[in-house]
Amino acid sequence: MKILLTGGLGFIGSETAIATIEAGHQAVIVDNLYNAKIGVLDRIEKLTGVRPAFYEADVADKKKLGEIFDKERPEAVIHFAGYKAVGESVAKPLMYYRNNLMTTLSLLETMGEYDCHNIVFSSSATVYGTPTHAPLKETDPRGEATNPYGETKIMIERILEDASKADPKLTAVLLRYFNPIGAHPSGLLGEDPRGIPNNLMPYISQVAIGKREYLHVYGSDYPTPDGTGIRDYIHVVDLAEGHVASLKAFNETKGVKIYNLGTGKGTSVLELVKAFEEATGVKIPYRLEDRRPGDVPENYADVEKAKKELGWTARLTIADACRDAYNFQVKNPEGIKD
Ligand code: UD1
């Protein structure tokens, strides 16, 4: 199948590009390089032996996107393109709403014009809001987002539901990621945040190579066994394979299909630190600090639906993810070069 990946040079997009190529699909990448490096394209080629067609373009630019669809005629789209920093979204909400919503609307309109009826959307467990229980099931209601970034994910899920009600030919797969971590085992691709990392694993990796002095552990008084927050950390390679597995949904009934992509297991911040130290042999100094506003005590996925319907299940461990994240950080201390 010819698949267009928006944001296909990003952390999850590039790993998914590899997984789709390895599964025998043809990948076409559109990325505006806002939060990705062009050097990633060479690395995808190095790892797969295939250089995907690449367009440097903003998905919100309908004219340019139309030209790309006209030339490539993709059968399906995997839509990653979007801003994703929670803190920044609180400071710049309009920028987040404009970008994340406009890219999606432009994409859906263009898909309609070019007879493309299959979309996978990069959603997030953040749509569950502040959960009252775990594990979370796809049938659990969407909650209240704690920030504009999360709100854009909720709004885009709704847009896709409405679009599919109006267009019986459309199939939209909403993949709700839990916490993606790790890197490609080669060390060539991984998470490459600009500036100070917001997320836990890239921060730990930067402490490990001495780039940051110590880890700030946000909250040690949560109602969890060791007092630190619990999340469902999933290796990005498993997550990428989840996308490939989800393409199966296009051959079945039309409409919206929702899947959690997680491991089904919760890990606390201190457990992740310990696992990292064991996997790498590097000590991670940390300090216990106040809770971070907007954080929830605990969330992890119920993964039965993806297993049953897509035949997909995460197979890599936290230790694999720690080893791979560290390997990427050691090999790319200043991130991926252009
Ligand atoms: C966050 C976002 C979520 C987004 C996801 C991926 C919030 C509320 N949620 O998830 O919407 O989809 O990132 O980008 O921000 N922690 C520390 N020290 C750090 C960083 C994190 O102790 O330096 C702790 C956090 O308190 C949390 C856990 O580590 O308990 C995971 O944090 P993080 O990696 O930022 O992911 P989430 O907050 O779960």
Summarize pLDDT for 21-47 with one digit per residue, the tens: 999 999 999 999 999 999 999 999 999
* pLDDT attached to residue 148: 97
Mean pLDDT of the 258-279 span: 98
Confidence of residue 251 (pLDDT cuts 50, 70, 90): confident
Cis check: omega of the bond before 148, within 30 degrees of 0? no
Ligand 1 site, residue 18, Cβ cutoff 6 A: no
Ligand 1 site, residue 216, Cβ cutoff 6 A: yes
* DSSP code string of 117-144: -EEEEEEEGGGG-S-SSSSB-TTSPP--
* pLDDT attached to residue 329: 97
* pLDDT attached to residue 273: 98
* pLDDT attached to residue 59: 98
Ligand 1 site, residue 297, Cβ cutoff 6 A: no
- Taking each helix axis as running N to C, give the angle between helix 62-72 and helix 93-113, from 0 to 180 degrees, rounded to the nearest 10: 40
pTM of the model: 0.97
Q: 146 burial class (0-12, 13-18, 19+ CB within 10 angstroms)? A: middle
Please list, in sequence order, all residues whose beta carbon lies within 8 angstroms of the beta carbon of residue 21, skipping any fewer than 6 positions away: 27, 44, 48, 50, 52
Q: How far, in Å, are 29, 37, 74 from residue 44 at the CA level?
A: 11, 12, 20
* pLDDT attached to residue 151: 98
Q: Are strands 267-268 and 230-231 parallel, antiparallel or unpaired?
A: antiparallel
* pLDDT attached to residue 243: 98
The percent of residues above 90 in pLDDT, for the chain, comes to: 95
The three-class DSSP label of residue 45 is helix
Confidence of residue 253 (pLDDT cuts 50, 70, 90): confident
pLDDT > 80? residue 111: yes
Q: Which protein residue's CA is at the shortest distance from atom 30 of ligand 1?
A: 229
* pLDDT attached to residue 194: 85
Q: Mark out the alpha helices in the chain (DSSP H runs).
A: 11-22, 39-48, 62-72, 86-91, 93-113, 148-166, 200-208, 236-246, 269-280, 304-305, 318-331
* pLDDT attached to residue 252: 84
Catalytically active residues, by annotation: 149
The percent of residues above 70 in pLDDT, for the chain, comes to: 100
pLDDT > 90? residue 103: yes
Q: 204 burial class (0-12, 13-18, 19+ CB within 10 angstroms)? A: buried
* Token pair of 251 as six digits: 């051959």
Rounded distance, CA 85 to CA 280, Å? 28
Type of residue numbered 264: G
Over the chain, what is the mean pLDDT? 97
Q: Which protein residue's CA is at the shortest distance from atom 6 of ligand 1?
A: 179
Choose one of 226, 269, 271 to mutate for the ligand 1 pocket test, by most ligand atoms within 8 angstroms of C-beta. Answer: 269
Confidence of residue 310 (pLDDT cuts 50, 70, 90): very high
Mean pLDDT of the 264-272 span: 98
Mean pLDDT of the 318-334 span: 97
Mean pLDDT of the 222-228 span: 97
pLDDT > 80? residue 125: yes
Ligand 1 site, residue 294, Cβ cutoff 6 A: yes
Tell how far the Cα of 269 is from the centroid of ligand 1, in angstroms: 10
Mean pLDDT of the 67-92 span: 97
The three-class DSSP label of residue 248 is helix
* pLDDT attached to residue 294: 86
- Closest atom, ligand 1, to C-alpha of 84: 14
* pLDDT attached to residue 135: 98
Q: Which protein residue's CA is at the shortest distance from atom 26 of ligand 1?
A: 218
Element (H, E) at 234: strand 233-235
* pLDDT attached to residue 180: 98
* pLDDT attached to residue 224: 96
Q: Which protein residue's CA is at the shortest distance from atom 13 of ligand 1?
A: 199
